[in-house]
Amino acid sequence: MNAHKGRLACHRPDPARVGAVHLTFLGTSAGTPTRTRNVTSQVLTLDHGGVWMLDAGEGTQHQLMKAGISARRIERILVTHLHGDHCYGLPGLLALIAIHERREPVTLIGPRGLAEFIATITRLSDLTLKFNVVVQEHGGSGEWVAEHGWHITARPLVHRIACSGYVLQEPERAGLFHPERARALGLPEGRAWGRLQRGETVNGIAPAQVCDPPRPGRKLVLLGDTCDAGAIIAAGSDCDLLVCEATYTTERAAKAHEWGHLTAAETGALAHAMRARALAITHFSSRYTTMPGALDALSKEAADACPDTVVFTADDLLTLDLALDGRVALRA
């Protein structure tokens, strides 16, 4: 079983993780907060220092502060659906971003009704923002090209209300440059090396002679609440990291499906179908987070269903590093 408990594991810094993007869980509880867990929100810190967020339940402002992440760096917020435990923190979060004196636009992507929700709160509370809020609504599916070429794909999930998951795909990166090859071909260090790395032919020397083949970009799949995520499998296949709810164990499958959620075993099966390299389970019913050892049953169910996938059990403020080669590891 490849299950890992985030609060117990410890790793030495790995030089290969230089250039990693970081996913931090700000909230991992389903429906309501507990004494040790907030409701749903995740933060992705990209290579260029920008921050993207998935959902913003109540208390997200406090969790950002505990994680040491500046609200001013938030560039976009992906909203899966408009249930309160995923969006009631948005108005306060926008106010926090304003207090941190951001001037650049913030983009919100989410379901129909998101613009009305933000506009109503802004109007009734007299919220003044000195940055533009760009709301991009979709009907379950959509595609956008964002900062630094990252591609965002939304696909519908089956839940009690309109809900989506998001696939984040980094653009293809140049292959590794080999200086010794360039020197052997009579090309000394200088601007020509940079041109070769950008794909240009210099003095008859083709990039393929001194560079490895292009490397695929990293791929993450971040899901909202669902009892059926089949519509996102094709877009999310072969991802480096899948983040998905595991609200109940199989013994409470009827309750899970009644409320539009997955069991941990179903989440593991989804990871297996996607051929995900790593899976992080989250959005736990409070019945498991308040009972000692109860999360172990969720972890085991998920891991048993996807034996070729590394499984992480999320805690609030747990951070996962996604290295340039796609490997996922706990932040040391």
Say yes or no: 209 and 130 in one domain: no
* Residue 9 reports pLDDT greater than 80: no
Q: Is the CB of residue 226 less than 8 Å from the CB of residue 158?
A: yes
Catalytic residue from among 55, 85, 240, 316: 85
pLDDT tens digits, residue range 30-75? 999 999 999 999 999 998 899 999 999 999 999 999 999 999 999 9
Same-domain check for residues 68 and 194: no
Among candidate residues 184, 214, 244, the one where a domain is terminated: 214
Over range 306-310, report the average pLDDT: 98
197/115 Cα distance (integer angstroms): 42
Whole-number Å distance between alpha carbons of 171 and 276? 18
Residues 59 and 86 reside in one and the same domain = yes
Range of the domain at 279: 3-173+215-330
Of the three residues 187, 214, 241, the one that is the final residue of a domain is 214
Q: Do residue 146 and residue 7 come from a single domain?
A: yes
Residues 233, 90, single domain; the answer is yes
267 and 239 share one domain: yes
Last residue of a domain, one of 214, 240, 268: 214
Provide the 8-state DSSP code for 53: E
Give the domain CATH number at 44. Answer: 3.60.15.10
Q: What is the pLDDT of residue 173?
A: 84
Lowest mean pLDDT among 69-83, 153-167, 193-207, 307-321: 193-207
Q: Are residues 255 and 226 in the same domain?
A: yes
* pLDDT (mean) for 304-320: 97
Count of residues making up the chain: 332
Q: Do 253 and 169 reside in the same domain of the chain?
A: yes
Q: 128 and 58, same structural domain?
A: yes
Amino acid present at 207: P
The rounded mean pLDDT for the chain is 92
Residue 168 sits in the same domain as residue 208? no
- Number of domains making up the chain: 2
Predicted local distance difference test score (pLDDT) of residue 147? 81
9 and 141 together in one domain = yes
**Other Cβ atoms within 10 Å of 291 Cβ, number:** 10
Q: Is 85 labeled as catalytic in the residue annotation?
A: yes
Same domain, 50 and 183: no
Residue 319 sits at φ, ψ, to 5 deg, of -120, 135
